[in-house]
Amino acid sequence: MKYGILSGSLKQEKSCSVMLAEQLFLQDFETPIIYSAAATNSTQILKKLEDCDTVILSFPLYFDALPSHLLAFLIQWEAYRETHASALNLYVIVNCGFFEGKQCQHALKIVENWCRKSNVQYRGGIGIGGGPMLNEIQSMSWKHGPKAPVSKALIRMKDTLQKNLSIENCFVQPAFPRRFYILMAHHSWNQQLKKRGFESGDIYPRR
């Protein structure tokens, strides 16, 4: 079985999308990573994907849907498969900045519909909340603490894809108090504003 990771993130370094997908293959074997943002109009990249038996698509949520560059890439891939289709399984991981992983449900449905139209076997997906937090605590254990629920979902997907089976879409978030997560998010946003020479009052409408 030949696997590949398709990243829908604009980042090619320190990407939460790649970090999550790689958890499926750690200590097993090296899995090629393809970045959709750098693959526009690339027949060579499409050939690499079609050479895989199973692809794991991992991307960040944009406005309850897919990033525009990833949508454009999927449209190209769909057209390519009209004449170069091979048997292909697709598992999906979506991460979002919202705390609740359920926020990713519409994005998973979009990918599932694309699979149906493109003759790709949709094998199920995971919607993961608290993506930015997971990216900041990579040194922490996956077995215990905030990352444990996410780890369990990824292990379940790993076991399933190794058996070439399907899973139901599931939604998880870190084992962490929601209100503290929101407080941390606001603090981070304000710090980023200050780095760019703004104050929080500059971006909110005056009443």
- What percent of the chain has pLDDT above 70? 83
Residue 88, C-beta contacts closer than 8 angstroms, at least 6 positions apart: 49, 50, 52, 53, 54, 55, 120, 121
Q: What is the pLDDT of residue 189?
A: 64
Structure tokens at 180: 């503290």
Q: Are residues 102 and 140 in the same domain?
A: yes
Q: Are residues 19 and 61 in the same domain?
A: yes
Q: Are residues 132 and 201 in the same domain?
A: no
Q: Once rounded to an integer, what is the mean pLDDT over residues 94-114?
A: 93
Q: What is the CATH number of the domain that holds 66?
A: 3.40.50.360
Q: Domain total for the chain?
A: 2
Q: Are residues 95 and 145 in the same domain?
A: yes
Work out the pLDDT band at 165, boundaries 50, 70, 90.
very high
Range of the domain at 77: 3-176
Q: Are residues 92 and 189 in the same domain?
A: no
Q: What is the pLDDT of residue 104?
A: 94
Q: Are residues 170 and 196 in the same domain?
A: no
Q: Are residues 116 and 191 in the same domain?
A: no
Structure tokens at 46: 């499409």
Q: Are residues 150 and 162 in the same domain?
A: yes
Express each pLDDT in 41-85 by its tens digit.
678 888 888 888 999 999 999 989 999 999 999 999 999 888 887
Read off the pTM.
0.87
Q: Are residues 172 and 184 in the same domain?
A: no
Work out the pLDDT band at 10, boundaries 50, 70, 90.
confident
Q: Once rounded to an integer, what is the mean pLDDT over residues 84-92?
A: 90
